[in-house]
Amino acid sequence: MRALEEKIVKEGLVLDGNVLKVGSFLNQMVDTSLAQEMAQEVVRLYKGVPVNKVVTIEASGIAIGFAVAAAMGVPLVFVKKSHASNVSGNVLTARIHSYTHSTDYTATVSADYITKDDCVLIVDDFLANGEALRGLIEIIRSAGATLAGCAVQIEKGFQGGGDQLRSEGVRVESLAIIEKMSVEEGITFRR
C-alpha cells in the first residue's frame, strides 16, 4: 500500500538489531486517518469472505484491529498477554515467545468470545517471526472457529515468518512488506 510505504520511508527509523521504529504514526502515536485508509484496504482484500469477528492481541494491535473491525461492521476481540483478573470462566490460551522482549507469555481470551461458529480475521501491527500470529491461530483453531486469514500492517519479510505461514496455507495479507533494511542502506520493499 503506497501511502503506508511512503510513511514508513518518511518517518520510520531503522535501528540496529532489525528494529524499525514507527512510533510516530503506528504504535505509540497512531495516525487515525492512515489507519482508516489501511482498514479500507483490508476490507477490499477480504471482500467476499464472511468474516464476522476480528481478533488481535494487546496492546499495539488494538488500534488497527478496531479500525478494521469497525470498517467491516463486526466486533473486535483482543486477546490478552496475561491472565488478567477480569478474564474468568473457560479460557483459550497459547504460549507465545516474544523476540522483541525476549520473554514468553500466555495469550489468553475468554472462550465465550471465539466460538466454532465464528469466521475470524486476525489483524496485527507487525509480523516478523510470526510467533504472535501462530499463537492467535492456535487459539482460533482450539475454539473450532474458521480462520479467514491474517492482515498485518508491516511485515518484515526478511525474517520469514509470513512466508512460512503462507507455505502452510494460511492467507497472510501485509500492507507493506520490507524485503531488507539496514541502518546504512535504508528500506527496500517487496514488489
| Nearest approach, Cβ of residue 153 and a copy of itself (Å) | 14
Residues between 45 and 74 with contacts to a copy of itself, criterion CB under 8 A: 58-60, 62-63, 66-67, 69-70, 73-74
Give the CA distances from residue 10 to residues 5, 13, 30, 69, in Å, rounded to whole numbers and listed in that order.
9, 9, 15, 28
| Residue numbers 79-138 binding a copy of itself by CB under 8 A | 80, 84-88, 100-101, 109-110, 112-113
How far apart are alpha carbons 142 and 21 in whole angstroms?
34
Pick 85 or 167: Cβ nearer a copy of itself: 85
CB of 102 to a copy of itself, least distance (A): 9
Nearer to a copy of itself by Cβ, of 31 and 173: the residue is: 31
In three-state form (DSSP H/G/I as H, E/B as E, the rest C), the secondary structure along 78-108 is: EEECCCCCCCCCCEEEEEEEECCCCEEEEEE
Pairwise CA distance, residues 54 & 52, whole Å = 7
Q: Which of residues 8-37 bind a copy of itself (CB under 8 A)?
A: 19, 21, 23-25, 27-33, 35-36
Cα torsion through 30, 22, 27, 118, rounded to 10: 100
Give the number of residues in contact with a copy of itself, rule: CB under 8 A.
Answer: 41
